[in-house]
Amino acid sequence: MADPLLRALVRALDLVVAERMPDGSFVAVAPPPSWLAAQAVDGQRLRLREALPFLEGFLGEAEAFWWREQDGVCESGPFAPEASGEELLLSARAVTAGRYKLLVLERLTGLTDTRPLIQKAREAMLEHERLVRRVESLRKPAAALTRLGQQLLETELTPAQRDLAAGIERAAAQVQAVTGTPQGPGPART
């Protein structure tokens, strides 16, 4: 890929594009971006396996894809390796285009970086679990309040005491409605 336009495009898109050679090594088709670890670059040869060990798993899949020798793309999921002391979020693609077998690495940033979204979802899930535990902790006391309020209403009470007991029973019923605790049948009121 000696075309200057294609090299400029690869650089502008901040991609690593490497051709897989018959001996299994990779040769960069354009100078690699700065985020690729310096130890990965040896002239035009790239030592991707050493610099990005996470890639080894995908390369097995890529080799099987390239071996089929059919034009197309095989994509990895996002990877989060550490390179040059910082965590990167990358996506890898094995591409077969005619006689060329290419490996394309793309740094995912901005909207393509799903880590902040995943973190927010994880935090929301933890908050939801915390709230569920709190609601669960209210179920038994709410059921006990209802039962006690019902028992109290079945005893001899002054009108003021009866109003208080009915208020307790109503409040407990509201808590049960919120927590999803089934309510027992109410007592016969006299």
Range of the domain at 141: 115-179
C-alpha atoms less than 13 angstroms from C-alpha of 117 in its C-beta half-sphere: 6
Q: pLDDT tens across 148-170, in order?
A: 888 888 888 888 888 888 888 88
Mean pLDDT, the chain, rounded, equals 81
Residue 64 and residue 124 in one domain: no
Q: pLDDT tens across 33-78, in order?
A: 887 766 666 667 888 887 787 788 899 999 999 999 899 999 988 8
Distances 112 to 16, 107, 108, 117, 171 between C-alpha atoms, Å: 17, 9, 5, 10, 49
Question: What is the pTM assigned to this prediction?
Answer: 0.56
Report the domain count for the chain: 2
| Contact call for residues 96 and 69 (beta carbons, < 8 A) | yes
Candidates 147, 141, 151, 123; CA nearest to 179 is: 141
CATH number at residue 41: 3.30.450
Task: Return the percentage of the chain with pLDDT > 90, whole number.
Answer: 21
Residue 148 and residue 99 in one domain: no
Residue 98 and residue 140 in one domain: no
Distance (Å, whole) CA 144 – CA 22: 76
Distance (Å, whole) CA 122 – CA 118: 6
Residue 20 and residue 85 in one domain: yes
